[in-house]
Amino acid sequence: MKSPTIKLLYIVVWSVSGKLNDQNPITSDVYSQSKVRVMQDGHQDPIPSDVFNQSKVYVMQDGRHLPEYHGYERPCPDAEHIAPCVCTYDSVYNAMDLNCSAVESEEQLKQIFKADFPFKNFNHFDINLNNNIKVLEVGVFNGISFEIIHMSSNNLSVIESQAFNSCYETATEINLWENMITSFPFDDVSLFPKLSYFRLSINWFQSMIPADAFHGLTALEHLDLCCNFGDIVGTFQDLPSLQSIYLSYNSLTTIPAHFIKTGSSDLSYIILDHNDIVSVEPGAFDIVYGLAITMGYNSLSTLDEATWRPYLEVGGVLLAEANPLVCGCDIAWLYGEDQLLLQIGNDATCSDGENLRDLDPKIFDLC
Ligand SMILES: *[C@@H]1O[C@H](CO)[C@@H](O)[C@H](O)[C@H]1NC(C)=O
Ligand SMILES: *[C@@H]1O[C@H](CO)[C@@H](O)[C@H](O)[C@H]1NC(C)=O
Ligand SMILES: *[C@@H]1O[C@H](CO)[C@@H](O)[C@H](O)[C@H]1NC(C)=O
């Protein structure tokens, strides 16, 4: 399931086409003027709000508002009350982060969030490479919120319904890459209006993954459900900011009309490799200039003109290596004057192994 080969291929695809997330606030010296109000006894005083009452200063380049703890020297909770979690505050990025990677049990995690937190809104939350948390329980965060939730390469298997309820209004990024999740509250996904990056790849969904759960997430830019061997049911619609969608290594067999109809004009990648796709209906995807669709390692026996011409005609690219294509008259359209063949990746082969690029176009004269 988590074979190194799959992981490697996947990482390559992701890093070639995916976007690393930059969270760069303005680094101008606006922030070097921040007023530190730590009294002599260590007590911290609130900074009068009008110090920041300049809308230009208030919103950072990445759209984040200056957090309420801006200007404090030590906004973190006391280290000993939250150990082994570690809170760090970066005054340049204005980010207070919490790293609980070393947490020893679910009970300990729960206790930690009962400590006194002077500020409740963190930027990053991390639990990575941890074997001790299997169930993420509802209520565990006790009202503490995060913008970026990164829980990767753990043994998490169950995310309880509403486990992230303190983050509905704040989360922009949820990354649960490479866990053992079999149970996830997909019904909660629509409750994250700012979510722009959602990654649930390399988990153990052998059951259903409901595509409809993502409908209407207007901020969502990157959606990654790769490598779950899951049964993706429904359609991905009304995602007007979507740029990339990764659905490789699942169990898709037939792609219906409107399968990925996001309405986004920024859609750049639809990744469907390593499923068991035998057919794609016309109108399955958005038609967007320059869209790359990858369909490698599936079971397509033909490339229907009605399905594929609309994408290629607007400069799209289709990668279709390792499909058992029957190279008969139904692909003759690729060899016409408009030379659409050039927009099929150069690894596509007929079922007998011959490369589509090597076929003599004359064989289609009689079609
Ligand atoms: C910010 O400034 C405006 C006008 O300068 C004022 O009306 C408003 O009350 C101020 N807000 C705060 C939080 O001080
Ligand atoms: C979190 O803490 C662990 C040690 O417990 C460390 O290895 C890891 O690099 C830290 N991660 C981040 C993102 O700070
Ligand atoms: C976590 O999962 C790994 C395999 O992915 C396994 O070797 C390890 O024993 C698991 N740890 C626990 C505490 O279950």
DSSP 182-238: -B--GGGGGG-TT--EEE--SS---SEEEGGGGTT-TT--EEE--S---EEES-EE-
Distance 75 CA to ligand 2 centre (A): 20
Q: Ligand 2 — pocket residues by CB below 6 A?
A: 99, 101-102, 126
- What is the number of helices (H) and of strands (E) in the chain? 5, 19
Distance 122 CA to ligand 1 centre (A): 26
Query: Does residue 55 line the site of ligand 1, with CB under 6 A?
Result: no
Which pLDDT belongs to residue 58? Answer: 60
In which residue are the tokens 């695809």 written?
13
C-beta separation of 66 from 34 below 8 A:
no
What are 94-112's pLDDT values in tens digits? 889 999 999 999 999 999 9
Which pLDDT belongs to residue 351? Answer: 95
Query: Does residue 105 line the site of ligand 3, with CB under 6 A?
Result: no
C-beta separation of 280 from 307 below 8 A:
yes
Which pLDDT belongs to residue 103? Answer: 98
Query: Does residue 49 line the site of ligand 1, with CB under 6 A?
Result: yes
DSSP helix/strand/coil, 35 = coil
Which residue CA neighbors atom 5 of ligand 3 most closely?
A: 155
Residues 270, 195 share a domain: no
Residues 154, 42 share a domain: no
Which pLDDT belongs to residue 93? Answer: 80
Which residue CA neighbors atom 7 of ligand 1 most closely?
A: 53
Residues 15, 133 share a domain: no
Residues 83, 54 share a domain: no
CA angle 103, 105, 107 (to 5 degrees): 115
Token couple for 356:
């589509």
Which residue CA neighbors atom 13 of ligand 2 most closely?
A: 126
Expressed as residue numbers, the domain containing 45 is 11-66
Which pLDDT belongs to residue 32? Answer: 30
CA distance linking residue 32 with residue 339, whole number of Å? 57
C-beta separation of 153 from 129 below 8 A:
yes
Token couple for 115:
């400590």
Q: Is the pLDDT of residue 346 over 80?
A: yes
Q: Is the pLDDT of residue 272 over 60?
A: yes
52 compared with 67, residue with greater pLDDT:
67
Query: Does residue 50 line the site of ligand 1, with CB under 6 A?
Result: yes
Return the H-helix or E-strand segment holding 135: strand 135-136
Q: Is the pLDDT of residue 36 over 90?
A: no
Mean pLDDT of the 204-209 span: 84
What are 134-186's pLDDT values in tens digits? 999 999 999 999 999 999 999 999 999 999 999 999 999 999 999 999 999 99
Token couple for 51:
């110090």
Token couple for 265:
């004009």
Query: Measuring CA to CA, how many Å separate 147 from each of 162, 166, 201, 245, 344?
Result: 16, 10, 20, 21, 40
Ranges of H-type helices in the chain: 4-17, 55-58, 79-82, 106-112, 305-313
- For a pocket test of ligand 3, which of 155, 157, 158, 179 has the largest count of ligand atoms closer than 8 A to its C-beta? 155
Which pLDDT belongs to residue 49? Answer: 45
Confidence band of 205 (pLDDT split at 50, 70, 90): confident
Number of domains in the chain: 3
Confidence band of 210 (pLDDT split at 50, 70, 90): very high
The CATH number linked to 268 is 3.80.10.10
Domain edge (last residue) among 207, 235, 262: 207
217 assigned to some structural domain: no
**CB count, 10 Å around CB of 345?**
16
User: Rg for the chain (alpha carbons), in Å?
Assistant: 24
Confidence band of 61 (pLDDT split at 50, 70, 90): low
Nearest to 99 by CA among 60, 33, 149, 161: 149
Residues 92, 59 share a domain: no
Percent of the chain with pLDDT over 70: 82
Q: Which of 5-14, 155-164, 181-190, 304-313 shows the lowest mean pLDDT across its residues?
A: 5-14
246 assigned to some structural domain: no
Residues 39, 102 share a domain: no
pTM to 2 decimals?
Answer: 0.82
β-pairing, 135-136 vs 124-126, is unpaired
365 assigned to some structural domain: yes
CA distance linking residue 71 with residue 68, whole number of Å? 9
Which pLDDT belongs to residue 192? Answer: 98
Q: Which of 34-43, 200-209, 224-233 shows the lowest mean pLDDT across its residues?
A: 34-43
DSSP helix/strand/coil, 153 = coil
Residues 80, 60 share a domain: no
CA distance linking residue 313 with residue 7, whole number of Å? 33
239 assigned to some structural domain: no
β-pairing, 292-294 vs 260-261, is unpaired
Amino acid code (one letter) for 88? T
Question: Longest C-alpha distance within the chain, in Å?
Answer: 91
240 assigned to some structural domain: no
191 assigned to some structural domain: yes
5 assigned to some structural domain: no
Residues 194, 89 share a domain: yes
Percent of the chain with pLDDT over 90: 75
Average pLDDT, the chain: 86
DSSP helix/strand/coil, 331 = helix
Domain edge (last residue) among 171, 190, 207: 207
Residues 196, 120 share a domain: yes
Residues 200, 108 share a domain: yes
Of the listed ligands, the closest to the CA of 150 is: 2
Domain edge (last residue) among 23, 38, 66: 66
145 assigned to some structural domain: yes
Residues 320, 198 share a domain: no
Which pLDDT belongs to residue 20? Answer: 32
Residues 163, 83 share a domain: yes
Token couple for 15:
């890093």
Nearest to 118 by CA among 148, 81, 147: 81
Q: Is the pLDDT of residue 343 over 90?
A: yes
DSSP helix/strand/coil, 298 = coil
